[in-house]
Amino acid sequence: MTAATTSPFRPLVLGGASFGGLFKPVTDEHVAAALEFAWDNGVRAFDTAPHYGVGLSEERVGAFLATKPRDEFVLSTKVGRLLVDDPDAVDGTDAFFGTPRRSRVLDYSADGVSRSVEASLERLGLDRVDLLLIHDAEDHMTQAIGEAYPALDRMRAEGLVGGIGVGMNDAAAARTFVEETDIDHVMIAGRYSLLDRSAEVDLLPACARRGVAVLVAGVFNSGLLADPRKQATFNYAEAPVELVERAVAMQRACEKHGVGLRAAALQFSARNPAVTAVVSGAGSITSLTDTFTQLSADLPEELWAELDQLALPVGGPAR
């Protein structure tokens, strides 16, 4: 069966990882101000997950959205991790800081999905979300396809959620879901960027054939494409020298044309007609201002051809 061809998540989705304290703690006031700024600038699509700050992102995003008309925004969250109170939880686990004392328990069972959705709605303070994604199931494919997906499929059939899909870093695993299930959304992180275009080999064509909406996240490859001279990280680890050199060459090409690398990184994914929306993790007024500026920058067509030559070989190693 061909999945739905439309999605309410367009063209920019605000990701919620930073609102859960990714890399550094942030205050409730900081998050509220950033979300209000995003709203005032037209953002109406939001993504969060239990994983982000062990529920803290859901709590903060939900508290903000509860003040807005429900029919004016769309919201996605994820399943695959249950949260449990844990007085021995260590701050900074999984790079989230200033979080509640909770731990994550991986669970892709049908019962785990049901419990996850119920707990997410409680943290969000909302009666529904628009999209549910199976989160980071690359190493749990059998259970995710056999149990988590049917549970979400039933929720969609019953009208409890508008859309279902997966949120992954692995293009091949995401393609398996596209071909073996009737999901209607894929959120792919880091695999369709200026540097790493591995998703365009099989995943994007498969999504286009089956009418699956594609949300592209991780367009900076965890920092390398934001400014490789200052943050040489790729996939949240130190980037290999070859990748740093490619990113710096891309930055120089952009500078030659009088534009920034961040502008090219943000705009690249949206140029592909198979891509529905770009997910931005900007979590402060400063970073949101920069994101809006870079998205509106005018980039010359000849630059794209130069950047194509500097990307990793399509289908080649991304690590």
Q: How far apart are CA 186 and CA 189, in angstroms?
A: 10
Coil, strand, or helix at residue 83?
Answer: strand
Q: How far apart are CA 65 and CA 68, in angstroms?
A: 5
Question: 């991790």: which residue's tokens?
Answer: 81
Determine the length of the chain: 319
The string of DSSP letters for 20-36 reads GTBSS---HHHHHHHHH
As beta bridge partners, residue 162 has: none
Question: 């731990």: which residue's tokens?
Answer: 103
List all residues 6 or more positions away from 252 whose beta carbon is below 8 Å from its beta carbon. Answer: none
Give the CA dihedral 270, 272, 273, 277, nearest 10 degrees: -30
Catalytically annotated residues: 52
Q: How far apart are CA 25 and CA 16, in angstroms?
A: 13
Q: How far apart are CA 166 and CA 146, in angstroms?
A: 14
Q: How far apart are CA 248 and CA 254, in angstroms?
A: 10
Do 262 and 290 meet the contact criterion of CB atoms below 8 Å apart?
Answer: yes
Coil, strand, or helix at residue 266?
Answer: helix
Do 57 and 15 meet the contact criterion of CB atoms below 8 Å apart?
Answer: no
**Bond before 50 cis per omega within 30 degrees:** no
